[in-house]
Amino acid sequence: MDDLSVVLGGRRVLEGVALRVSEGELVGLVGPNGAGKTTLLRSVLGLVPASGRIRVAGRAVRAGRVRRADTAHAIGYVPQRHEFAWDFPVTVEEAVLTGRVARIGWLRGAGAEDYRQVRRALDRVEMTHLRRRPVGELSGGQRQRVLVARALALDPRILLLDEPFTGLDVPTQEHLTTLFRALASEERAVVMTNHDLVGAVHASDRLYLLNRTVVASGTPDQLGGPEPWMKAFGVSAGSPLLAAIGRVAHARSADAHDGGEQA
């Protein structure tokens, strides 16, 4: 995207945002509350009006005018958990099948290929054994995996994840991080908003620091210093958060260096 801007309710939420994501990488999108992270993801899907230029899977589209049906082959979207109606009387399998509605159409029934893709998606998130369980009976971590499977049911080349770790325990976060990195390694482009800054530095190939516009971008090693984080989040130089980010960035850099020497 280039020069992406969004005005909602008379307030400028995003201005002049430029962002690139390539197949095969996991990009972290971080910023303070109200920075516009969710709005940016929704602008790609055409769920909010926007100006600027967006290119999806090599195809130029009008910002804010992307139709889900037009890009259903390319984009999988995982919203925040509270956006899904968990009290709706459907099973896990039925919930994941709704992820294919853009391809199936509202007035058509699901076919054998649709159910094959649903089963493959459930296998990826290790939820096949619970496919008949009502979604309202699931734990928080299980619900998150259902949303991921729902997005994967389209076999997308681009995966947008909005705060997928919120409210999850550490083992579940680690499981999902491993899954997201595996999906990126399969030549998918993965974009993930994350309020856990240390976790974002650890998991991401590249980072965008957003506060209504892109404040800084680069690899974790390139963003290991305190200045871009101070500018994006308004924290002081003595913040313990900056020290933790620096340690994780340094550890990643050392691991990459050791791996290169071994190779």
Q: Can you tell me the distance from the alpha carbon of 87 to that of 44, in angstroms, rounded to the nearest whole number?
A: 28
Instruction: Please check whether residues 169 and 204 belong to one and the same domain.
Output: yes
For the segment 146-203, what is each residue's pLDDT rounded down to a tens digit? 999 999 999 899 999 999 999 899 999 999 999 999 999 999 999 999 988 998 999 9
Q: How confident is the model at residue 258 (pLDDT cuts 50, 70, 90)?
A: low
* Angle at the Cα of 50 from the Cα atoms of 48 and 51, rounded to 5 degrees: 170
When divided into structural domains, the chain yields a total of: 2
> Are residues 106 and 213 both part of a single domain?
no
pLDDT tens by residue, 114-152: 999 999 999 999 999 999 999 999 999 999 999 999 999
Q: Is 105 contained in some domain?
A: yes
Q: pTM for this structure?
A: 0.89
193: Cβ contacts below 8 Å, ≥ 6 apart? 28, 29, 30, 37, 38, 41, 161, 162, 163
Whether the per-residue pLDDT at 72 is higher than 50: the answer is: no
CATH code of residue 11: 3.40.50.300
52: left (phi over 0), alpha (psi -120 to 50) or beta: left
Task: Name the strand (E) or helix (H) holding 37.
Answer: helix 37-45
Same domain, 12 and 70: yes
Residue 256 included in any domain = no
pLDDT band at 69 (very low <50, low <70, confident <90, very high): very low
Same domain, 174 and 110: no
Instruction: State whether 170 and 151 are in the same domain.
Output: no
Domain shared by 47 and 96, yes or no: no
In a domain, 95, yes or no: yes
Contacts of residue 219, Cβ cutoff 8 Å, sequence gap at least 6: 205, 206, 207
Domain assignment present for 23: yes
Residue 98 domain boundaries: 85-155
